[in-house]
């Protein structure tokens, strides 16, 4: 598989677009989570910080059109990907097009007010429920751009963004599409916020992936979008590659509803499949962009796979800048991986304490600069329910064969 990435876009706490994201990851602009005083008004006395999208993004919400934050983040990232590719939405209308997005909280975007009204007998319409049943975020993106094509919304929890890119790539590789808008988008609401608190894996301090003193997740939100093109479509459109998707792997270990299999069994299979499809070895990788949530169990399972399959490959853990963006996380990290390959530099972990000698994996640190001196990288995702996914990506300097 050697599919062209014609452009990419992102929205996250680290930036309203990918240029701002790069300034945070590589330019030293500080990014810290904030306490959710208004948006996450829960019953818990202790408030847990979140990586919230910038105010400049939130101000663009089209509330009058019943737009959800997930759709807002998606369309801003799609717009950026198209701009990077020097294309308009109309340029894709003559192609066999697909939209494949990962999402999780979109389903509850309009449910809370409806639920409160229904409990008090004040609900006058079941439109929010009908919307939940009949509309997906991928369909909404198709409609927003007046596109016709196939669509799928992937809901494999925290692996959904990575899976969506992989599924979209498979559509092109198998001849179903010429171009696919692929990625993930998710906004924060009380469902994940209180859910991770009840799982007792939310950290009152900013998350510190792979750090000895890590205590859990800091949630985030946003979107990551890749414009995937077949080589012939890229040539037809005159779109130079900004990167490539070389391989994709997916495996579900079914170990537990929320906890990863301790030895990383499912992730190991997903990584091995992605490397095999890409035709690369661990020694060919510039780095692995780890799922790196900062929980004790997740980091331990992922470290086991790094020790066994990826020994000697530098590790980065970028949720320390963006937070855990749920179903958007893997797609956002795919964008970060392409950006890092283009810059030839690996992002340093944020808020790191000291290495955990039991993990034997230390991410790139500020005082240990690591160059991304190879053309390929691996991006991993682990989701609830034992969902695991991995992508092998290459920078624009890759020969594309």
Annotated catalytic residue, options 100, 187, 207, 291: 291
Per-residue pLDDT, 147: 97
Residue 1 is predicted with a pLDDT of: 84
Domain count, the chain: 1
Q: Any idea what DSSP says for residue 311?
A: T
| Region of poorest pLDDT, from 82-86, 120-124, 165-169, 331-335 | 120-124
Q: Which helix (H) or strand (E) segment is 25 a member of?
A: helix 18-26
Model pLDDT, residue 225: 98
Confidence check: pLDDT of 368 > 70: no
Indicate if the pLDDT at residue 190 is higher than 80: yes
Q: What is the full DSSP assignment across 83-104?
A: HHTT--GGGGTTS-EEEEEE-S
Phi, psi of 223 (to 5 degrees): -155, 150
pLDDT tens, 294-305? Answer: 999 999 999 999
Per DSSP, 202 falls in state B
The pLDDT, as a whole number, for residue 129 is 64
**Residue 38's pLDDT is what?**
76
Mean pLDDT of 374-398: 92
291 is catalytic: yes
pLDDT of residue 87: 98
The mean of the pLDDT values for the chain is 91
Confidence of residue 123 (pLDDT cuts 50, 70, 90): low
Q: Looking at per-residue confidence, does 119 or 216 come out higher? A: 216
**Is 252 among the residues known to form the active site?**
no
Residue 119 confidence (pLDDT): 76
Nearest to 71 by CA among 99, 95, 94, 90: 99
What pLDDT score does 105 carry?
84
Q: What is the pLDDT of residue 64?
A: 67
pLDDT on residue 186: 96
100, 158, 207, 387: the catalytic one is 158
Q: In terms of pLDDT, which residue wins out, 224 or 370?
A: 224
Q: State the average pLDDT over residues 120-134.
A: 68
Q: What distances in angstroms separate CA 94 from CA 89, 114, 236, one per listed residue?
A: 10, 40, 11
401 is a domain residue = no
Residue 363 inside a domain? The answer is: yes
pLDDT of residue 50: 95
Is the confidence at residue 366, as pLDDT, over 80? no
Within a domain: residue 310? Answer: yes
- Boundaries of domain holding 340: 3-395
Query: Once rounded to an integer, what is the mean pLDDT over residues 3-20?
Result: 97
Higher pLDDT residue, 119 or 94? 94
* Contacts (Cβ under 8 Å, ≥6 apart) of 178: 95, 96, 97, 172, 229, 230, 232, 233
pLDDT surpasses 60 at 343 = yes
In a domain, 279, yes or no: yes
Q: What is the pTM of this model?
A: 0.94
Q: What's the pLDDT tens digit per position in 28-52?
A: 888 999 988 777 877 777 889 999 9
The predicted structure's pLDDT at residue 270 = 97
| Domain assignment present for 161 | yes
Q: Which of 100, 187, 316, 324 is catalytic?
A: 324
- Residue 282 inside a domain? The answer is yes
Mean pLDDT of 248-270: 92
Tens-place pLDDT, residues 91-111: 999 899 999 999 998 766 566
Domain membership flag for residue 400: no
Q: Check if the beta carbon of residue 314 is closer than 8 Å to that of residue 289.
A: no
Helix (H) or strand (E) holding 285: strand 285-289
- Tell me the CATH number at 156: 3.40.47.10
Q: What mean pLDDT comes out for the span 216-244? A: 97
Q: Nearest 5 degrees, angle CA 73-CA 205-CA 360?
A: 95
Provide the pLDDT for residue 255: 87
């Amino acid at each position: 598989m050697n599919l062209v990435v014609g452009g990419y876009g992102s929205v996250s706490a680290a930036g309203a677009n990918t240029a701002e994201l790069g300034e945070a990851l590589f330019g030293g602009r500080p990014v810290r989570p904030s306490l959710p005083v208004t948006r996450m008004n829960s019953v818990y006395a202790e408030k847990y910080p979140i990586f919230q999208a910038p105010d400049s993004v939130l101000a663009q919400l089209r509330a009058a059109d019943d737009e959800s934050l997930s759709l807002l983040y998606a369309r801003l990232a799609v717009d950026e990907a198209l701009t990077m590719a020097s294309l308009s939405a109309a340029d894709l209308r003559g192609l066999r097009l697909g939209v494949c997005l990962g999402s999780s909280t979109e389903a509850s975007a309009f449910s809370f007010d409806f639920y409160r009204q229904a409990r008090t007998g004040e609900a006058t319409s079941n439109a929010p429920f009908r919307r939940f049943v009949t509309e997906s975020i991928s369909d909404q993106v198709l409609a927003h751009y007046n596109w016709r094509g196939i669509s799928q919304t992937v809901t494999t929890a925290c692996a959904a963004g990575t899976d969506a890119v992989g599924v979209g790539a498979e559509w092109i590789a198998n001849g179903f599409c010429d171009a696919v808008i692929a990625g993930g988008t998710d906004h924060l609401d009380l469902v994940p916020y209180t859910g991770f608190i009840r799982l007792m894996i939310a950290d009152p301090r900013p998350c510190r992936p792979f750090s000895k003193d890590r205590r859990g997740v800091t949630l985030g939100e946003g979107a990551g979008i890749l414009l995937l093109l077949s080589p012939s479509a890229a040539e037809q459109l005159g779109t130079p590659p900004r990167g490539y998707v070389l391989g994709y792997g997916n495996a579900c270990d079914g170990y537990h509803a929320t906890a990863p299999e301790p030895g990383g069994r499912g992730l190991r299979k997903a990584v091995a499949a992605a490397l095999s499809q890409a035709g690369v070895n661990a020694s060919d990788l510039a780095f692995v962009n780890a799922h790196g949530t900062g929980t004790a169990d997740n980091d331990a399972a992922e470290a086991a796979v790094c020790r066994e399959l990826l020994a000697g490959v530098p590790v980065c853990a970028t949720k320390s800048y963006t937070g855990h963006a749920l179903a958007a996380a893997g797609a956002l990290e795919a964008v970060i991986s392409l950006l890092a390959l283009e810059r030839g530099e690996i992002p340093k972990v944020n808020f790191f304490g000291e290495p955990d000698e039991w993990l034997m994996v230390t991410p790139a640190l500020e005082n240990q600069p690591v160059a991304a001196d190879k053309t390929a990288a691996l991006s991993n995702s682990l989701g609830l329910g034992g969902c695991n996914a991995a992508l092998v990506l290459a920078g624009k300097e890759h020969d594309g064969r």
